[in-house]
């Protein structure tokens, strides 16, 4: 059976971090504290393929102050221990970072991931375990993990503190949005105070897989004017027509409102998770745009160009 786990990888501190810009960031006492978090020491991995840890500051470099600085919306690569069937080291797998730049403990020394354990039955009827997800899910506290990166520009969080940010996630696609939302609502920064609207749609199969639900509810309770959360629980909920409640089915219930928001210059949409969600969301947008005589695909191109429509699906 598949299971989602949350773990914090701890990054060694480094004297190099002093060259990064300093900033005042503290974690709000309102955050949910972890009951079960595993910590893992991480080796530096500058030479592992394309995603090697950046040595020189640049646009992509994060604003955390640990040895692996990253920005909200980036991913890291993980190389599982061991070798593949050809005796070669395993290839890296990417994981979206689920913590904000300063990490869940506010000290820039950890990075949190939300990993689904992949287990499936192949055509021969054998049970197959995914290499890296099982490696991560089975790690013991204190184990060393080879990581690369950070990488990724598509999902970077908008800088505008007054933006409307619409986040569309399925399953573990929630990871980058947890990172955004912690920065918005659980932390205090001297250069960023979110005062816009953060609207999260999360699609999962069952209510037991509603990842980070308590955290999101806490954020919403404290920031009722700045946050909205809508869940789509596909195997337990249906719409009024009896159709399966996918993320796009839930969005369709707010179609007009979403379309109005999409006409604003400071609305940014982010989509992360299963590839199939993209078409489903396009389908509802096509009919909405058409009501205003707009061709959705053309409109989406413009939004993408303006970095207002950002998609990382897999
Ligand atoms: C940018 C990005 C971010 C990502 N972020 C996350 C994240 O935050 N959390 C997360 O859990 N994952 C994430 N992933 C996916 C992750 O990178 C891995 O692909 C995933 O964990 C599986 O890797 P694995 O090594 O366990 O499986 P592998 O050993 O690589 O096995 C996967 C392969 O198994 C086969 N397979 C899988 N399911 C079946 C099936 N039902 N039937 C037959 N064959 C099958 C497919 O060939 C598939 O390619 C992300 C991917 C990308 C590209
Ligand atoms: N940055 C990234 O690119 C990134 C980050 C994290 C995860 N991922 C990828 O995202 C995927 C998430 O998988 P998961 O196993 O974590 O998810 P999951 O827990 O299985 O949840 C996926 C949800 O989406 C629903 N769904 C299925 N088909 C859909 C469709 N066409 N449109 C809308 N919703 C649909 C599923 O419903 P039913 O199962 O009931 O049909 C389920 O409710 C994985 O492929 C993972 O590798 C990518």
Ligand nearest the Cα of residue 311 is 2
pLDDT recorded at residue 67 = 72
- Which residue's CA is minimally distant from atom 33 of ligand 1? 130
Q: End of a domain among 95, 116, 151?
A: 151
| CB-based contact 236:204 (threshold 8 Å) | no
Q: Which of helix, strand or coil describes residue 41?
A: strand
Q: Is 314 a catalytic residue?
A: yes
Range 254-285 burial, b when 16+ CB lie within 10 A, else e? eeeebbebbeeeebbbbbbbbeebeebbeebb
Per the structure, the count of domains in the chain is: 2
User: Which CATH number belongs to the domain containing residue 189 in this structure?
Assistant: 3.40.50.80
Q: Based on the domain organization, do 139 and 191 belong to the same domain?
A: no
pLDDT recorded at residue 272 = 97
DSSP-assigned letter for residue 262: H
Q: Based on the domain organization, do 135 and 36 belong to the same domain?
A: yes
ω into residue 76 within 30 of 0, thus cis?
A: no
| CB-based contact 17:65 (threshold 8 Å) | yes
pLDDT recorded at residue 261 = 96
pLDDT digits (tens, 9 = 90+) for 135-180: 999 999 889 999 999 999 999 999 999 999 999 999 999 999 999 9
Q: Is 95 a catalytic residue?
A: yes
Q: Based on the domain organization, do 177 and 115 belong to the same domain?
A: no
Q: Which of 132, 211, 310 to mutate to test the pocket of ligand 1 (most atoms within 8 A of CB)?
A: 132
Distances (CA, A) of 233 to 62, 230, 284, 311: 34, 10, 18, 21
Q: Based on the domain organization, do 184 and 309 belong to the same domain?
A: yes
Q: Report whether 234 belongs to an annotated binding site.
A: yes
Does the pTM exceed 0.85?
yes
Which parts of the chain sit beneath pLDDT 50? 1-5, 12-24, 32-63
**Residue 170 alpha carbon to ligand 2 centre in Å:** 5
> Which residue range forms the structural domain that includes residue 90?
4-151
């Amino acid at each position: 059976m598949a299971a989602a786990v949350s773990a914090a990888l701890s990054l060694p501190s480094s004297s190099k971090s002093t060259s990064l810009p300093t900033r005042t960031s503290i974690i709000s006492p309102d955050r949910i504290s972890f009951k079960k978090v595993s910590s893992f020491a991480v080796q530096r991995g500058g030479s592992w393929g394309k995603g090697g840890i950046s040595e020189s500051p640049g646009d992509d470099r994060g604003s955390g102050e640990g040895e692996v600085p990253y920005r909200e919306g980036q991913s890291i690569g993980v190389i599982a221990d061991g070798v593949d069937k050809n005796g070669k080291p395993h290839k890296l797998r990417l994981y979206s970072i689920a913590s904000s730049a300063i990490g869940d403990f506010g000290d820039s020394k950890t990075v949190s991931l939300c990993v689904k354990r992949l287990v499936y039955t192949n055509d021969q009827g054998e049970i197959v375990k995914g290499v890296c997800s099982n490696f991560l899910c089975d790690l013991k506290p204190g184990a060393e993990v080879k990581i690369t990166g950070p990488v990724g520009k598509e999902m970077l969080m908008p800088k505008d503190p007054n933006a409307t940010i619409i986040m569309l996630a399925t399953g573990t696609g929630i990871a980058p949005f947890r990172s955004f939302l912690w920065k918005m609502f659980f932390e205090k920064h001297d250069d960023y105070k979110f005062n816009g609207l953060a609207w999260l749609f999360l699609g999962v199969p069952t209510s037991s897989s509603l990842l980070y639900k308590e955290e999101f509810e806490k954020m919403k309770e404290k920031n009722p004017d700045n946050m909205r959360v809508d869940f789509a629980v596909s195997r337990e909920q249906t719409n009024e027509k009896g159709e399966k409640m996918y993320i796009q089915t839930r969005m369709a219930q707010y179609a007009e409102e979403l379309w109005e928001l999409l006409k604003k210059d400071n609305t940014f949409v982010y989509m992360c998770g299963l590839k199939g969600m993209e078409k489903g969301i396009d389908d509802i947008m096509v009919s909405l745009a058409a009501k205003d005589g707009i061709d959705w695909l053309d409109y989406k191109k413009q939004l993408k160009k303006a970095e207002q429509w950002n998609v990382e699906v897999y």
